[in-house]
Structure 1
């Protein structure tokens, strides 16, 4: 089974909680749109989002961690995200997952992930080499042919034991304690150094959403868009990733 872990920011630190909820609803619809029933979604949040979508495969795990503004001002968002991912991964054990995937609360994932993962339950895991970038409310996506995992946090599928979960997890630590769960671009290298390399996912695995105010890490101004990588946002892409338009 594949378990998705989605860390969601608090309404107290969101520029627009309504917008965060809209984007999250699209993300969780995408995660639940799998072609295989062998998946679960764990959402770790300070407060449950205000959305209409429900699904029996979703678990909301509410936490009372200190708000990011009350922690280290240098890495406050990262620390909150790391705490939530760790909490979700620990909780995932009750579903006996073969693999887990951290998903940013604004991105979309391919509907084929769970079906693919269940075919290889002993595999170390995969990194998303190919994926799409999407700027909100446009009619195109941009194909990233390699190294997608370096730019997007929705990019690593790990065999559960390779999360290296602490025996006695703590949630009052600083950035360094959680960095393995945050630094998505480093996970591949870390596991290669340990002799447990990840394989490239053999298809485009996610869509990285750009260009809205509450995205801490992604801003369309920080990315180049190569015309030759531009693809029409077709019905098949929308359906595979459950990518709906948000006004």
Structure 2
């Protein structure tokens, strides 16, 4: 069983709650397009999003703490995200998962992930060495052929029982324990240091989306898109990742 944990930013800090909800709905449709039924989705949020799509594998967990205060908007957003990630990982336990995966609320994932995890239940996990970047509104994707996990938070699958989850998690403090999950670019090396080496995922597992206007990382408007890495957005890619243009 693979549990996808999706932390959702609050309406209080969103530029457009409608856009945040649209992006999440696409992400949820993408996740729930798995070829195996052995998965669960835990969305951790403050307010329930404006999502019409429903699926029996989706659970919404609402947080009750206040949005953290910090003069830096990125730090503020990541602190909130970290708390929600930790809560989602703790909540995942009740589904008896073999593995857990963090998915950013605007990304898309491969429909093959749950089936692949189901066939490899004893593996420590995987990092996504390559993946796609997608700029909203374009008719193409851009492939990143190495170190995709340094770019996107949707890029690691970890075995649940090797995670050092606190017995009494504290959500209402700084980065703390959950900074481990936010530093997605360091997870591979940290797991190696703990003698739990991860393997590269043997296929493209995610699409990192940009241009939606609600990205928290500060990457929007900064990343370059090399035409040499451009690939046509085919029906095969659309179907495998559940990617469609937002209205």
TM class, shorter-length: over 0.9
Count of matched residue pairs? 246
Q: Which deviations, in whole Å up to 9, do the C-alpha atoms of 1:69-96 show, x marking residues without a partner?
A: x357472111100100100100100100
1:162 aligns to 2:159 (yes or no): no
Corresponding residue for 1:116?
A: 116
Give yes or no for contact 1:212–1:219 (8 Å, CA) kept in 2.
Answer: no
**1:135-214 → structure 2 map (5 Å cutoff):** 135-214=135-214
Report the 3-state secondary structure (helix = DSSP H, G, I; strand = E; otherwise coil) of the residue aligned with 2:221: helix
Say what the alpha-carbon RMSD is for the aligned residues. 1.2
Residue 164 of structure 1 and its aligned partner are, at CA, apart by 1.4
In the alignment, the residues of structure 1 paired with residue 177 and residue 65 of structure 2 have an alpha-carbon distance, to the nearest angstrom, of 15
Residue 167 of structure 1 and its aligned partner are, at CA, apart by 1.5
Q: Which deviations, in whole Å up to 9, do the C-alpha atoms of 1:145-193 show, x marking residues without a partner?
A: 1100000000000000233111111111211332102110111010111
Q: Which deviations, in whole Å up to 9, do the C-alpha atoms of 1:114-157 show, x marking residues without a partner?
A: 00001111100000111100000100000111100000000000
The worse-fitting range, judged by mean Cα deviation, of 132-141 and 178-187 is: 178-187
1:27 aligns to 2:27 (yes or no): yes
In the alignment, the residues of structure 2 paired with residue 59 and residue 150 of structure 1 have an alpha-carbon distance, to the nearest angstrom, of 28
The worse-fitting range, judged by mean Cα deviation, of 200-209 and 222-231 is: 222-231
Gaps of 5+ in 1: none
Corresponding residue for 1:232?
A: 232
Report the 3-state secondary structure (helix = DSSP H, G, I; strand = E; otherwise coil) of the residue aligned with 1:186: helix
The normalised TM-score by structure 2 is: 0.96
In the alignment, the residues of structure 2 paired with residue 155 and residue 102 of structure 1 have an alpha-carbon distance, to the nearest angstrom, of 8
Report the 3-state secondary structure (helix = DSSP H, G, I; strand = E; otherwise coil) of the residue aligned with 2:149: helix
Gaps of 5+ in 2: none
In the alignment, the residues of structure 2 paired with residue 105 and residue 10 of structure 1 have an alpha-carbon distance, to the nearest angstrom, of 12
Give yes or no for contact 1:43–1:88 (8 Å, CA) kept in 2.
Answer: yes
In the alignment, the residues of structure 2 paired with residue 60 and residue 231 of structure 1 have an alpha-carbon distance, to the nearest angstrom, of 35
Corresponding residue for 2:97?
A: 97
Report the 3-state secondary structure (helix = DSSP H, G, I; strand = E; otherwise coil) of the residue aligned with 2:6: strand
The normalised TM-score by structure 1 is: 0.96
Give yes or no for contact 2:213–2:220 (8 Å, CA) kept in 1.
Answer: no
Give yes or no for contact 1:210–1:218 (8 Å, CA) kept in 2.
Answer: no
